Amino acid sequence: MLALDRVSKTYPNGVAALARFSAEIRQGEIIAIIGGSGCGKSTLLRAIAGLDRASSGTVTLDNEAIASPHAKIGIIFQEPRLLPWLSVADNIGFGLTDLPATERREKVVRALERVGLVDKAQAWPRELSGGQAQRVAIARALVPQPEVLLLDEPFSALDAFTRRDLQDHLLDLWADTRPTLILVTHDVDEAVVLADRVLVMRPRPGRLFDQIEINLARPRDRNSPLFENFKRSVLTSLDRSLDRSVPDRDATQGPGQAMWW
């Protein structure tokens, strides 16, 4: 289980990007984080990834405190961030150098098959389309089999078609090993399609505003009335989060606070 306990982050320039964010996330759960621009979503994700240190509060994975990048936690950024000097296959195998070469090659081949890029194995990253590159980034993050995969607006730079395709693809890949997914998104549709639970954040300082459980069986039908209902409730919550006249629900009462150790 991933536990966030009152995670706060104040940048050196004094911006309070994150204030007392608490949540508990079950192993294998898919979480979508949604909220206005600048409300600290990326800050939160970077704290979980161990890329930046929280100013206060703790992130723990199975009771182990996270202060620096961890083998069980992978991250996918908004841009693919492939290493331009490595072939697609070597990019995917980047995190596997500890393994013997044959095992490594097997895993890479399997990952290539899984993301449908076998024919691109020896291509350079510059030869890929945006969607292909992001698929390589997903494969690279998944191939070491992390328990938690963080995704910071991974599909936001893609067209609607490719985005849908990759969302389905991500769910497919998730089903293989069922890691915990924490996905930052601006896209309500994406949140409702993917997530078990949507966390709505509110800005200045960034904090948790609301949680919405999406009790919908997968695969989800984007056109069903139920789907529309969930979308509407996420949208309503999002609107309220940006409306300053709406008072905070006391976030400390949320389920994330049920921590007694």
Ligand X SMILES: Nc1ncnc2c1ncn2[C@@H]1O[C@H](COP(=O)(O)OP(=O)(O)OP(=O)(O)O)[C@@H](O)[C@H]1O
Taking residues 12 to 31 in sequence order and writing x for each that binds ligand X by CB under 6 A, - otherwise, the string is -x-x-x--------------
Q: Which stretch binds another protein (CB under 8 A): 23-31, 84-92, 207-215, 216-224?
A: 84-92
Q: Which residues pair with 149 in a beta bridge?
A: 74, 181
Q: Least CB distance from residue 35 to Mg ion, whole Å?
A: 10
| Contact residue for another protein among 124, 186, 205, 242 (CB under 8 A) | 124
| Contact residue for another protein among 74, 203, 206, 256 (CB under 8 A) | 74
Is-contact 258 24, C-beta < 8 A? Answer: yes
Within 31-50, the residues that bind another protein by CB under 8 A are: 49
Written as six digits, the tokens of 251 are: 């976030």
Sheet with strand 73-76: strands edge to edge = 73-76, 148-152, 180-184, 30-35, 197-202, 207-213
Q: Is 148 in the site for another protein (CB under 8 A)?
A: no
Q: Is 39 in the site for ligand X (CB under 6 A)?
A: yes
CA distances from 163 to 31, 166, 219, 222 (A): 18, 5, 16, 14
CA distances from 245 to 37, 240, 242 (A): 18, 9, 9
Q: Which stretch binds ligand X (CB under 6 A): 40-48, 64-72, 223-231, 237-245?
A: 40-48
- Pick the closer one to another protein by CB: 94 or 227: 94
